[in-house]
Amino acid sequence: MPEPTAVNSMFARIARRYDLANRLLSGGLDMWWRWRLVRNMRACTPTDILDLATGSGDVAFSISRNIPSANRIVGMDFCQPMLDEAIDKQADDSKKRYGNISFRQGDGLDLPLQDNEFDAVAISFGLRNMGDRHRSLTEMKRVLRPGGRLFVLEFSQPICWFRPIYLFYLRHILPWLAGILSGDRTAYVYLNETIEAFPNRDALSAEFLAAGFNRVQAQGWTFGVVALHTAVK
């Protein structure tokens, strides 16, 4: 499992160029993936929502724009420089659309939140960085209300024929290109290594069940490169 201090330091180093790197390295697909997550969440009409590992706030902002039932959105991350990027975006929004979002620092392994506080919890590309996945899942379950839903968007294992192409990109092209874009090649070597080691959809679904969730489902997108896992408390 990742070491939290090292992960925090890594994201702090790349915070200023994180959005640019995401867009270019994914060919813009990261925006589409996040939009599909929000579309799935909208169907359950949540009012109180936690966006965990919010990073620079893209999912929180999308929830605010696209889910009319969202009265309160908490964007939480343990890396303050990433949160600073989100806070700056919120302040710079000329239309002042995001008054229902508050950004807070917090550790995904020990959430500074009350039990049964949210109708929905989302985490996008953050579960892979948790130092203890089981503990983080049980914390997400704790802060959900009974019947509340969890939405986890995360890298997964691609379908067989696409896997060699994908691994070549991860191992050879992505770190080189990311080093140019972000100035920190090491951070994206970490990305490659954690993606390759991450469980496939079936294995991760089993971890959700072990954490006490039910009605666990997984959808693979883009040849299985990413997956949206959903579950109910």
In DSSP terms, which residues pair with 74 in a beta bridge? 50, 102
Integer Cα distance of 231 and 233 in angstroms: 7
**pLDDT in the model for residue 179:** 74
Integer Cα distance of 228 and 154 in angstroms: 7
**pLDDT in the model for residue 136:** 98
Q: Is-above-0.85 flag for pTM?
A: yes
Integer Cα distance of 176 and 15 in angstroms: 18
Query: In degrees rounded to 5, what are phi and psi of residue 23?
Result: -65, -45
4-157+200-232 architecture in CATH? 3-Layer(aba) Sandwich (3.40)
Give one DSSP letter per residue of 27-48, joined into a string: TTHHHHHHHHHHHHHHTT--SE
Please report, for the chain, the start and end positions of each structural domain, with discontinuous segments joined by +: 4-157+200-232
**pLDDT in the model for residue 45:** 97
Mean pLDDT by 10 residues, the chain (233 residues): 73 72 82 96 97 96 97 96 94 91 97 98 95 97 98 95 91 81 71 85 97 97 96 98
> What pairing do the DSSP bridges indicate for beta strands 101-105 and 118-124?
unpaired
**pLDDT in the model for residue 15:** 65
